[in-house]
Amino acid sequence: MRVKTIIEPFRIKMVEPIRMTTEQERRGLLEEAGYNLFLIAAENVIIDLLTDSGTAAMSDAQWAGMMRGDESYAGARSFYRFQEKVREVTGFAQVIPTHQGRAAERILFGLLGGPGRVIPSNTHFDTTRANIEAQCAEAADLVIPEGLDPASLHPFKGNMDVERLEELILRVGPANVPVCMLTVTNNSGGGQPVSMENIRRTREVVNRHGIPLFLDACRFAENAYFIKRREPGYSQHTCTQIAREMFSYADGCTMSAKKDALVNIGGFLAMNDEELARKARNVLIVTEGFPTYGGLAGRDLEAIAQGLEEVLHEDYLAYRIRTAEYMGEKLEEAGVPFVKPPGGHAIYLDARAFAPHIPPQEFPGQAIACALYLLGGVRACEIGSVMFGRTDPQTGRHVAPPLELVRLAFPRRVYTQSHFDYVIEVIRDVYDRRESLRGMRITYEPQALRHFTARYELR
Ligand code: P71
């Protein structure tokens, strides 16, 4: 093809108006929300990049599927279509629907967790870590060192450090490692992909010790596309083939369908182990629902089945990954520090380099996120000391995570290129004024997952 511009591979036939707000209005709204962007009403946001989770625009075929949804309590036609599609994409025989990803996590770790147990991953996302810790088990993050260096251009910064993985297994004993996880792509580390070779090598390590491998698969299609583009030997494969190979090295997966299944709600737990699946279904019945709907409506199962089909279309993935790449190019030109290379679903600003005058215990990422909202009505999400920092009970001092990031996550098929141009302008504007940014202090926080409900004041 001669034309090089990668376009949004869809037309728009239904629109949702965006309400414009003024800076003055937003100043008041921020104060009212205690500077917590989760507490701002979505109506008061111009471009909402808080998350790519559950925010996708569904296709005509998905909406048609919604109408065809079979709402029978047991054995609905929609369940069988869902099950068949999940089996086709993942190859796992046992398919258990859940209302979202964390429900699948809670069931899995409820069965496999417990005191003394350690569950390694490249990097656990916050809900995964919280569900492991809720079972009194330990969550261990073992991403390769390049994955913690925002400037490193390693093509697969989500890779597991397989040497450290083996060390950990030997240190705590294989009997205390009930499962090993791999998050594809690695959300907390910048949406960075994991290579096929690394999945294979992780598989070899856990195999030697009889430990099952589960993928946290919520962005599996984006990961597959990166493998196609970056890993030798895969450029001629389809993303469907690549995804299938990724899953072939695992024993199961947890999935938040709110990402790469292009739906607004849903998830699943899938695996090959029949006995573990039986136990999982018994928990499911108590907490989520009967095994053929698992907390979802039949129409949701239809939309997931269709979404799993569409997400692997190469035109879609090319456009999807290009969005982050495009933003990366523009931010690079402006000298704004961000995690390189751009990940699949988001741009992550490097808050340490962006606002070096704000120390981690004063939440530089939160300060930047608030400024993006104040100046442009853009909502982003802090992924740093607010989300992952903690206070050492002995010294009372703040223990910062390795990275202080601000994530601008892209809802799938929702915003156009000019929306992204607007966001780039807002980021540049905040960056120009970075020296005037002030740190923050937490005035209220709950016990766990504090980023959702904490309140702050400016220092
Ligand atoms: C994301 C989310 C959803 C979220 C979480 C916390 C704050 C704001 C938004 C959810 C994930 C995820 C991975 C790798 C499991 C879940 C849980 N991500 N694994 O990135 O990224 O899935 O939301 O369906 O329960 O914004 P769930």
Atom of ligand 1 nearest to the CA of 256: 24
| Rounded-to-integer distance, Cα 68 and Cα 2, Å | 40
- Each residue of 186-244: pLDDT tens digit? 998 889 999 999 999 999 999 999 999 999 999 999 999 999 999 999 999 999 999 99
| Ligand 1 site-directed mutation target among 106, 109, 124, 218, most atoms within 8 Å of CB | 218
Q: What is the token pair recorded at 39?
A: 């507490």
CA 426 to ligand 1 centroid distance, Å: 25
Show Cβ contacts of residue 409 under 8 Å, excluding neighbours closer than 6 positions: 49, 50, 51, 52, 53, 345, 346, 380, 381
pLDDT at 39: 97
Q: Is 233 left (phi over 0), alpha (psi -120 to 50) or beta?
A: left
CA 170 to ligand 1 centroid distance, Å: 31
| Ligand 1 site-directed mutation target among 55, 127, 129, most atoms within 8 Å of CB | 127
Ligand 1 neighbours (beta carbon < 6 A): 51, 53, 100-102, 125-128, 183, 187, 216, 218, 256, 258, 267, 381, 409
pLDDT at 1: 64
| Ligand 1 site-directed mutation target among 39, 53, 98, 260, most atoms within 8 Å of CB | 53
pLDDT block averages, 10 residues each, the chain of length 459: 88 96 98 97 98 98 98 98 98 98 98 97 93 96 95 96 98 98 93 97 98 98 98 98 98 98 98 98 97 98 98 97 97 96 96 97 98 98 92 91 94 97 98 97 90 94
CA 218 to ligand 1 centroid distance, Å: 9
CA 428 to ligand 1 centroid distance, Å: 27
Residues in the chain: 459
Question: What does the DSSP 8-state code read for residue 70?
Answer: -
User: What is the residue with the minimal CA distance to atom 3 of ligand 1?
Assistant: 53
Distances (CA, A) of 159 to 168, 217, 231, 432: 16, 14, 13, 34
pLDDT at 372: 98
Other Cβ atoms closer than 10 A to 151: 11
Atom of ligand 1 nearest to the CA of 102: 25
pLDDT at 126: 85
Q: What is the token pair recorded at 439?
A: 């740190």
